[in-house]
Structure 1
């Protein structure tokens, strides 16, 4: 019976690992946190361990100019940094909190908890929370919403007046150009009529009309008669 129990324990250890090892399960972290400049930021990491708490150290990863980043330990000696010892919840989850008072712009980065213990097979980093410290926009003119609306209405009216004035000027310019064009055409027609001789035009017109009335056959007959008269003359 002892031999069977020993073999069972050896089999269980071979499958599940060493009994002295601590199993750590990471809890979901807040993905990101946005904090205004000079305000307080609260960061938290949570995990559950099978054999109690493990050693926890806060690390920050700051992205450099060339796009790389490396975690570095948070300086706990800084006066605006506070790290608690961890709180164990009723569900058996251990949570650690990092407090940054009067957050600075260079505090932005990815914050993670580094979990380490002699009984851990491998050290573990939590998922982490990305902290963004932003500078609020400063209003140049501190005006109310009603004043802003009045300014927008005035700008719209000025824009409409400008469009109407431009359209009216374009219409007037087009009308003036059309009048000049008509006047130029009329002057050219008058110059053409002045260069013509009305008497020559009338005589030419009468000849054309007579030729159309008499017809080509009558002209041929007249020519034949004239030739006969010339032949009969001595």
Structure 2
């Protein structure tokens, strides 16, 4: 009878104990910059006294996740516990994270075989500056780039304008030379005599007397040597 009572009491404890602890969901992801502090939480609510907890870490290597290993607590990595009314939190604090700290951290309560969903901690390094320049130097470089860009736009435009001016001047000179070549080899005396004949024909009109024409021809003949 005593054995049966003990078995019933143990089964009652096993059934009731899980109902007294309500595990809160973990933060799924945390991204922290290299050499910065970080804190992971494993929270639960219970009406009984706080439970013991341990932190475990899983590392992914070659597309395979390793088995959980217990976190090695040091001066840099410590665990703490905080409580507020019926809410208790197990904390894993990193004073300054390193690249090797990247992994999935899970919490185990009261040495049970059940682990929480855990939080994946990712440690990243910021891009290092190849050339460390001050803001004033950057502003000077930007100003110089703007001036160079302006010169690259203005210089081709001015050269094109100068070339077009030269071409127009050459065209004008060629036109003048062609005009001078037209009048080269002409006798001015012949031109003046032809011009006088044209003027006389216009002065007499289209109808002239035969006598006048004969007289003019005689006069013209007299003028010849």
Per the normalisation by structure 1, the TM-score is: 0.53
Give 1:35's match in structure 2, choosing from 32, 44, 63: 32
Aligned to 1:151, the other structure's residue is in SS state: helix
The aligned residue for residue 61 of structure 2 is 64
Question: How big is the shift at 1:55?
Answer: 4.1
For the aligned residue pairs, the C-alpha RMSD in angstroms reads 4.0
Once the two structures are TM-superposed, the CA of residue 107 in structure 1 deviates from its matched residue by: 0.7
Change (3 A) 1:124 1:138: closer
* 1:132-151 to 2 correspondences below 5 Å: 132-151=122-141
Q: Indicate if the aligned counterparts of 1:22 and 1:50 stay in contact, CA closer than 8 A.
A: no
Aligned counterparts of 1:48 and 1:69: Cα–Cα separation in 2: 30
1:19 maps onto 2:16 in alignment: yes
Please give the secondary structure, in 1, of the residue aligned with 2:45: strand
For each residue in 1:60-113, what CA deviation from the matched residue of structure 2 results, as whole angstroms up to 9, or x when unmatched?
A: 2333343x43452243255532123x23222x1111111223321111223221
* Match status 1:110 vs 2:107: no
Match of 1:76 among 72, 96, 115: 72
Counterparts of 1:37 and 1:31 in 2: how far apart (Å)?
Answer: 19
Q: How many residues align?
A: 165
Separation of aligned partners in 2, 1:165 and 1:134: 48
Q: 1:170 to 1:105 in 2, by over 3 A?
A: farther
Structure 2 residues not aligned, in runs of 5+: 1-10, 176-225
1:87 is aligned, of 75, 82, 105, to: 82
CA distance in 2, matches of 1:19, 1:28: 21
Partner of 2:188: none
Q: Within 5 Å, which residues of 2 pair with 1:166-181?
A: 166-169=156-159, 175=164
The aligned counterpart of 2:142 is 152
